[in-house]
Chains A and B, each alone.
Chain A
């Protein structure tokens, strides 16, 4: 008996795989579990093979592990592709209409006429709801919480639809009840929980709304599109504006135009769209216009794996656009950090009058995670040096690009009396008028780069998570935080067996980086000095981009590294496998 569970649902696109995953995840969340829900789907609308991996624990749950306790197969492909992940003693629910003869094993197979039951209840599309009911019973949960969810979900479609769905749910539940299986979970003591569960894209949208967003412009691109949808749905209620632009170049330039006018604005995209935005990052850098860009990474180059995950654009984001100027690169590691950094990105962009890039990836942006609360009260708005209209009116000879100690100069907004200037993409003098003289060029370059020095000094260093006296430190950036902590918890809570003797002797902690650029060399060096004797740097790209950055900036190298670039996220077992090699002296890198 256990207090954690891993469920995988599989089927073709359009069969309601996502709904099953979401309903199960929500039920578990409301039953007091920590939940991680991870969707996988190819880039198509019908057919293919979609899965939802829902993992929940009454203890802590940070990220994914491999084993599946319960597989719900809505098609035969799932039985072929996902069966190897089911643990011994685990359970497989599949639709009786699938021709499938299980080979003898320690897995329990449950053939349920999901489609037939749904058909009898009036709508074959409810087969997935029957599957949810069956899944609940297999886990050992009642239908109570889920019925309420379905009622809310189908409320607008009328009482008949609600009733039919609840019947389908109960039919699935009763079917399994009659078979009399022992439930997978311990009897669950359902207690109401205030634990929030959301995707990274949603956490990011919430951060932007909270921070006073005025305009969001974007061109649809997976996996950033849900930001466009979520923000659009709430624009009228909160008074900001969302615009689908004709392309990413237009999106970023609309944002720059709005920021120039004094309105907080943001655009979001993935790698390809970000590439189109590059020249405009330099425009914001040169004109000293604030800019917030969300870059949700997916595997490249080019169209790559559009619906999968990677951290392949770190070096690209840092070096994006021509010329030398300050830009911030922030890579939050979980929902709380995403919310915080969405909020903070506006403050940084406005305070330093320059672009700020928030990097997510598909894994972080589209997975649903419980995250406690987001604590919006902790954050305050800082709009930087925007002119006071009354003072500006009395100012003689206002200079937008005046030289200052920290390089940051006062910013007037169009319409303010006495603040006329030209935000000039050409090199310019103090009022923004074109100036190609050697001396002015040097002064203005130095002005812009002073901001870089000032910003680097105030960038927070990386954070240690876990015990101080560790033997191994997992070094991670961005979304690597979650896999790192999941691995750490598994190892540090492990009981000694004959297979893991070396491992359990080694306590593990995590060093996580989310403020990536500009790098606070002093704070980062300090943290790296405090790492455990052995270090393992994990990142989801093939060339070790973060490792190269640390080497370049600090001269530091890890004992070993683990890089993954097949589009799939890290599973804790993969990191444990690498740590085993490390502790047993079987290092290959």
Chain B
């Protein structure tokens, strides 16, 4: 049985004091403990950034990927061994900037992977440039007046592609977040947990208080795309949290007849007899 401590490594997190990443770190460990997943019974794929640095703070089978590519790694990993839970942890800069196409295509395919998106609207590790989710008006060194780009809404994007499970949580609510992560991991298909995460150093305007004043739980889970998209939007100073959209599309790997019973990990890597194929070239 795993305990919270079994997910700790020899390195204590190097995030700024008060960083929202601490809440996500705690919620993730709590979810894994409640699901009774041991550190060696899941595969984690990390992006690059402050969030990706969690790769050295979570004990488990980790893969600290390149900036933007962790979802693609995870999609291949799930096809390779669909028996292990596959969890992706990356930030909004990573996953919605450089890695945006992987995000959309993985949602479209409905790969059975869980995505924990550290969404703080800023590039923290490179000291505060605007990220794809930065709101209009955000000021940063590369754009000294203010950002005019419309922010990306990851939940709306995922719902558009009818991803299996789309949710939003808050790093300041560790209990609620761990519950969402738990359900996301349990969902068979693409599951997104978009985590509102304060960056106290480079995006101090969006503080814990700022979020608390705006977040509100969705009333009910919908499987209707239009309702889901509507609920995912940040409108009227209101940000919905909880499971925003869920459907029962089959997970991507289950579409392959050869994977119905067998796991690639067990059936491949052994020498095959190809004499039948060779006869076709006579």
Contact = CB atoms under 8 A, between A and B. Distances in A.
A261 B43 CA distance: 8
Return the 5 tightest CB-CB contacts between A and B, nearest first. A254-B76, A257-B76, A214-B268, A253-B72, A257-B73
Contacts of B262: 239
Q: Counting chain A CB atoms within 10 Å of each CB, which of B270, B272, B281 scores highest?
A: B281
B230 to A, nearest CB: 27
A253 B270 CA distance: 23
A239 B268 contact: yes
Interface stretch (B58-66, B148-156, B186-194, B202-210): B58-66
A175 interface: no
Given A257-B73, A414-B61, A414-B84, A243 B79 contact: yes
Contacts of A214: 80, 264-265, 267-269
Contacts of B60: 420
Given A246-B102, A264-B269, A414-B84, A257 B77 contact: yes
B66 to A, nearest CB: 5
Contacts of B55: 422, 424, 426, 434
B188 to A, nearest CB: 18
Q: Counting chain A CB atoms within 10 Å of each CB, which of B64, B76, B270 scores highest?
A: B76
B56 A263 contact: no
Contacts of B278: 196, 206, 373-374, 376
A424 B84 CA distance: 20
Contact of B269 (A195, A254, A381): A381
Interface in B27-75: 39-43, 45, 48, 53, 55-56, 59-66, 69, 72-75
A238 B39 CA distance: 33
B30 to A, nearest CB: 19
Interface residues of B, number: 56
A254 B73 contact: yes
A234 interface: yes
Given A196-B282, A250-B105, A414-B81, A262 B269 contact: yes
Contacts of A258: 76-77, 79-80, 264
A60 interface: no
Given A215-B264, A380-B271, A383-B269, A241 B81 contact: no
7 contacts: A215-B80, A241-B259, A245-B105, A257-B63, A265-B76, A414-B43, A420-B61
Contacts of B11: 433-434
A254 B268 contact: no
**Interface range on chain A: under 10, 10 to 19, 20 to 34, or 35 or more?**
35 or more
Interface in A1-49: 30
Contacts of A194: 282
A146 to B, nearest CB: 15
A211 interface: yes
A263 B265 contact: yes
A209 B76 contact: no
Nearest to A211: B271
A345 to B, nearest CB: 14
B233 to A, nearest CB: 26
Interface in B239-282: 256-259, 262, 264-265, 267-272, 274-275, 277-278, 281-282
A422 B56 contact: yes
Contacts of A54: none
A257 B74 contact: yes
Interface in A238-271: 238-241, 243, 245-247, 249-250, 253-265
A415 B64 contact: no
Interface in A189-219: 193-198, 202, 206, 209-215, 217
A287 B81 contact: no
Interface string A400-416: 00000000000001111
Interface of A: 30, 193-198, 202, 206, 209-215, 217, 234-236, 238-241, 243, 245-247, 249-250, 253-265, 279-280, 283, 287, 373-374, 376, 379-381, 383, 413-426, 431-434
B39 A215 contact: no
B10 interface: yes
A415 B81 contact: yes
Contacts of B42: 414
B83 interface: yes
Contacts of A211: 271-272
Contact of B61 (A245, A254, A415): A415
B62 A239 contact: no
B63 A423 contact: yes
Interface in B120-150: none
B277 A256 contact: no
A240 B269 CA distance: 10
Nearest to A240: B268
Contacts of B40: 414-420
A280 B102 CA distance: 14
B282 A253 contact: no
B273 to A, nearest CB: 8
Nearest to B10: A433
Contact of B281 (A196, A263, A381, A423): A196
A152 to B, nearest CB: 10
B179 interface: no
Nearest to A381: B271
B101 A210 contact: no
A177 to B, nearest CB: 29
A234 B277 CA distance: 9
A250 B74 CA distance: 10
Contacts of A238: 272
Contacts of B227: none
B217 interface: no
Nearest to B58: A422
Contacts of A422: 55-56, 62-64
Nearest to B81: A261
B69 A280 contact: yes
B236 to A, nearest CB: 35
B9 interface: yes
A257 B72 contact: yes
B9 A433 contact: yes
Contacts of A383: 269
